[in-house]
Amino acid sequence: MHGPPLFIDNKKRRLYLCGIIDDHSRLITGCKWLLSENSMALEIVLKEAILTYGIPNVFYCDNGAAFSSTHLQPACARLEIALIHSKPYDSPSRGKIERFRRTVREGFLTVIDRQQNYSLDRFNQMFEQWLQNHYYRVAHHSIGRPPLDCYLNDLKTTAVRRIEQNELDLYFYQTFKRTVKNDATISLNGVLFEVPPQYIGCKIEVRHPTGAPEARRMSCSFMRMTKPWQKLQKSIRSSTAKIISHKSVSVRIKTRRTHDRSLLESQRKTV
């Protein structure tokens, strides 16, 4: 949902609302105003919803770029969440969340001062207070009772799967491929990371949790990728030539194969 332009930290910027609603109780399990609408924003809200209300069985969403990213699909698969996308241009199938957005426009956005300067955290705190004092406490016209009461009543007969923060971060990680430089470092988002020297010249896979810059510096894991020439390295150890780079290895392998091929052809001619 696109919000109105507001002064955020002394700059006029447009905010975007990312929200997740419980299909049965209409409780808003995750909702936050952010400065962008992408897969990172969706992950922040989804992780907060999971930590607060547990792991859902089904995550029903539209076909936007944030919901169709290659990052969301494997994360849901690891958590055993069925990811289902609605049909394109089928707004009625998303009527519940669309109705909530209308309530936000008519209820919350009409009472805020659009000329006042806010911080993003302060604006989200004001929105959370509005949810707690108005949306959760007023009877919903579709279910005939407040969403919070309906949700708490369902907890009596519903098993909730819980997960810890550290474990959840392992399910939501981003993967990058980098080549280790000669000084045993790689660059990731403008930050240099030191790599064990045995990985110099290798292509490695770097994984880190998203949405946590401080964790990015501390919990990068390096996975050595299989190099196609490693299996052939033993076959050329008898050579006196010194292997100093990937290029020299590939050249040496090519020379050895050419030599073996020519030898085989000469043997065939002899026979």
State yes or no: pLDDT of 59 exceeds 90. Answer: yes
Full-prediction pTM beyond 0.85?
A: no
Q: Which of 24-33, 137-146, 160-169, 253-262 has the lowest mean pLDDT?
A: 253-262
64 backbone dihedrals φ, ψ, rounded to 5°: -65, 165
Superfamily of domain 2-165: Ribonuclease H-like superfamily/Ribonuclease H (3.30.420.10)
Element (H, E) at 117: strand 117-118
Q: In whole angstroms, what separates CA 196 from the centre of its chain? A: 27
Q: What's residue 253's pLDDT?
A: 34
75-79, 97-101, 156-160, 217-221, range with the lowest pLDDT: 217-221
| The predicted structure's pLDDT at residue 189 | 75
CA distance 108 to 146: 18
Domain ranges of the chain: 2-165, 172-224, 232-270
Cα separation, 133 vs 264, in Å, equals 85
> Rounded mean pLDDT of 44-54?
91
Q: Which residues pair with 19 in a beta bridge?
A: 31
d(CA 24, CA 72): 23
